[in-house]
């Protein structure tokens, strides 16, 4: 049954079975999980602290409930040195070429030539 649950990726999942807690680790795709007969969806939606803005339409396969991080700006910073580019540059150039991004490949090629 959990295989079907993970495929359906429900917005809300109530586990109302014996030893429901033991099943929680097997749930991979659900917006919110309500564990046991004493945890109805309404409890989580309104007063238990779980976010009520949940992924719908099977989006729980790749998305989570809304959280503070969704409103924060993130920035990646990449640093490299000649040794790092020597190790990763050739592979990156192959990927860039496969994507049709010749200048990206060139920017790595010129740094990996010895």
13-17 long-range contacts, Cβ below 8 Å, gap at least 24?
14/39, 14/40, 14/41
At 14, give phi and psi (nearest 5°). Answer: -105, 125
CATH topology of domain 2-71: Rossmann fold (3.40.50)
pLDDT at position 103: 97
Query: How far is the C-alpha of 52 from the C-alpha of 42, rounded, in Å?
Result: 10
At residue 52, the pLDDT reads: 86
* pLDDT confidence tier of residue 114, bands split at 50, 70 and 90: low
pTM over 0.85: no
pLDDT of residue 64: 94
Domain extents for the chain? 2-71, 82-112
CA quadruple 88, 94, 99, 103: dihedral, nearest 10: 80
User: What residues are labeled active site?
Assistant: 11-12
pLDDT tops 90 at residue 113: no
Question: For 22-77, what is each residue's pLDDT tens digit?
Answer: 999 999 999 999 999 999 999 998 899 888 899 999 999 999 999 999 999 988 99
Q: What is the mean pLDDT of residues 10-29?
A: 97
Q: CA-CA distances (angstroms) from residue 93 to 85, 101, 106? A: 11, 9, 7
Let me know: does 32 contact 10? Beta carbons within 8 Å. Answer: no
């Amino acid at each position: 049954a959990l295989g079907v649950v993970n495929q359906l990726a429900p917005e809300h999942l109530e586990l109302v079975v014996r030893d429901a807690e033991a099943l929680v680790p097997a749930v991979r795709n659900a917006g919110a999980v309500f564990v046991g007969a004493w945890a109805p969806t309404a409890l989580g939606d309104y007063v238990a602290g779980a976010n009520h803005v949940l992924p719908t339409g099977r989006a729980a396969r790749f998305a989570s409930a809304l959280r503070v991080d969704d409103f924060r700006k993130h920035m990646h910073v990449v640093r490299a040195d000649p040794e790092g580019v020597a190790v990763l540059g050739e592979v990156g150039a192959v990927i860039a070429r496969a994507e049709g991004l010749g200048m990206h490949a060139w920017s790595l090629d010129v740094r990996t030539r010895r």
